[in-house]
């Protein structure tokens, strides 16, 4: 059964080993108490997620991190100055964190979400809460409570949802690994990437730090966000160069969906009404932060537009650093269709 619950019920459900979908500033997470192995196991089952893909442990802002991780100076500085934030940090784990959570690795991913309701929940629960994004493995992550409902309503799992409104950021957190005081690796891009560089420069001498941007595909660590196909709609997603927009709309089939920039709306004046009547256009903001906020909702809307199989075309986004994390998600959502138009 799937139902909406309030904060008090969410706390008691988590404490009694149940699965609760929780809001964060990035996307909704499917949460379980990390000290309850059966509950953690249940998350893998519900998500249909391979057991080798480790989970992020979410903690309250005043939590004693040393219960779960071996902390170094650089990590401590970053945590003190940046958290709560859409920034997950990977550190050496302690024996309090089970191998089921870390995929048998000796590291743990920790995150302190910047969401008031979930901070209250984490404070009352008093321990770490594992929370992968609340979607079936490989599908689009949920940025609204109703996405979680739609995602799991046709299954027979007991899941309760704590509705904390729309997720402000809209795509998953940046993940960094801090091995020691002079080594940071970025394992997953997020909207916090830009701040990682500017904010960390304020607290430490960046020239003394070796920053490795994760090279996709060569990584031996199991990071599910680094699978070639992820975050993907069920219908084919194609990335469309702006110069091909007009022609592709003119040749489109009934029920096709075009996700285009608000700025490109002028082009529609050149298209016949009969064509516009049989396709759907979804407009996206021109600002990267607003685009990230909307993208998963738009991909879901595009996917659910008709029950018939249809194509989704997404107008290519800029290649500047502000768009990098979004580009990463779009590439993975469309990867299986190499034929980018």
Sign of CA dihedral 154, 160, 55, 194: positive
62: Cα within 13 Å, side-chain hemisphere: 6
What is the DSSP secondary structure assignment for residue 253, as one 8-state letter?
P
Q: Which residues bind ligand TXA (CB under 6 A)?
A: 24, 26-27, 29, 53-56, 88, 90, 102, 105, 107-109, 111, 113, 131-133, 172-173, 175, 187, 221-225
Decide which of ligand TXA, Mg ion, none touches 53; Cβ closer than 5 to 8 Å per partner kind. ligand TXA
- The 3-state DSSP composition of the chain as helix, strand, coil percent (nearest 5) reads 35, 20, 40
Q: Which is nearer to ligand TXA, 110 or 245 (CB)?
A: 110
Q: Which is nearer to ligand TXA, 35 or 53 (CB)?
A: 53
Decide which of ligand TXA, Mg ion, none touches 245; Cβ closer than 5 to 8 Å per partner kind. none
Q: Which is nearer to ligand TXA, 291 or 313 (CB)?
A: 291
d(CA 255, CA 182): 52
Tokens of 296: 């998963």
Decide which of Mg ion, ligand TXA, none touches 27; Cβ closer than 5 to 8 Å per partner kind. ligand TXA
d(CA 296, CA 282): 12
SS3 call for 301:
helix
Decide which of Mg ion, ligand TXA, none touches 102; Cβ closer than 5 to 8 Å per partner kind. ligand TXA
Out of 133, 160, 174, 252, the residue judged to bind Mg ion by CB under 5 A: 133
Q: Which is nearer to ligand TXA, 113 or 312 (CB)?
A: 113
CB of 194 to Mg ion, least distance (A): 21
Site for Mg ion in 144-203 (CB under 5 A): none
Max CA distance (Å), the chain: 65
Within 8 A by CB and 6+ apart from 12, the residues are none
CB of 53 to ligand TXA, least distance (A): 5
d(CA 287, CA 271): 26
The site map against Mg ion for 73-112 (x = CB under 5 A) is ----------------------------------------
Q: Which is nearer to Mg ion, 88 or 133 (CB)?
A: 133
SS3 call for 99:
helix
Q: How many CB atoms lie within 10 A of CB 274?
A: 7
**Footprint on this chain of Mg ion (rule: CB under 5 A):** 133
């Amino acid at each position: 059964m799937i139902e909406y619950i309030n904060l008090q019920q969410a706390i008691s459900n988590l404490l009694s080993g149940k699965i609760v979908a929780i809001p964060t500033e990035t996307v909704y997470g499917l949460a379980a108490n990390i000290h309850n192995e059966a509950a953690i196991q249940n998350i893998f089952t519900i998500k249909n997620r391979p057991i080798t893909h480790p989970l992020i442990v979410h903690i309250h802002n005043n939590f004693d991190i040393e219960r779960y991780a071996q902390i170094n100076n650089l990590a401590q500085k970053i945590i003190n100055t940046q958290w709560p934030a859409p920034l997950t940090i990977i550190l050496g784990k302690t024996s309090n964190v089970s191998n089921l959570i870390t995929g048998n690795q000796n590291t743990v991913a920790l995150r302190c979400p910047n969401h008031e309701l979930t901070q209250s929940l984490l404070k009352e629960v008093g321990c770490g809460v594992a929370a992968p994004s609340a979607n079936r493995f490989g599908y689009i992550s949920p940025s609204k409570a109703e996405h979680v409902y739609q995602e799991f309503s046709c299954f027979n799992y007991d899941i309760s949802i704590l509705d904390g409104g729309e997720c402000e950021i809209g795509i998953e957190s940046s993940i960094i690994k801090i091995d020691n005081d002079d080594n940071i690796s970025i394992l997953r891009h997020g909207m916090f990437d830009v701040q990682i560089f500017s904010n960390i420069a304020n607290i430490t001498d960046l020239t003394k730090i070796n920053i490795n941007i994760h090279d996709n595909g060569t990584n031996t660590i199991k990071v599910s966000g680094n699978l070639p196909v992820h975050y993907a709609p069920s219908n084919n997603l194609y990335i469309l160069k702006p110069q091909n927009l007009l022609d592709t709309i003119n040749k489109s089939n009934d029920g096709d969906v075009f996700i285009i920039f608000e700025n490109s709306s002028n082009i529609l004046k050149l298209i016949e009404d009969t064509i516009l009547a049989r396709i759907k256009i979804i407009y996206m903001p021109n600002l990267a932060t607003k685009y990230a906020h909307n993208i998963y909702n738009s991909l879901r809307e595009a996917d659910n537009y008709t029950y018939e199989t249809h194509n989704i075309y997404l107008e290519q986004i800029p290649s500047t650093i502000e768009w990098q994390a979004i580009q990463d998600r779009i590439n993975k959502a469309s990867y299986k269709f190499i034929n980018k138009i």
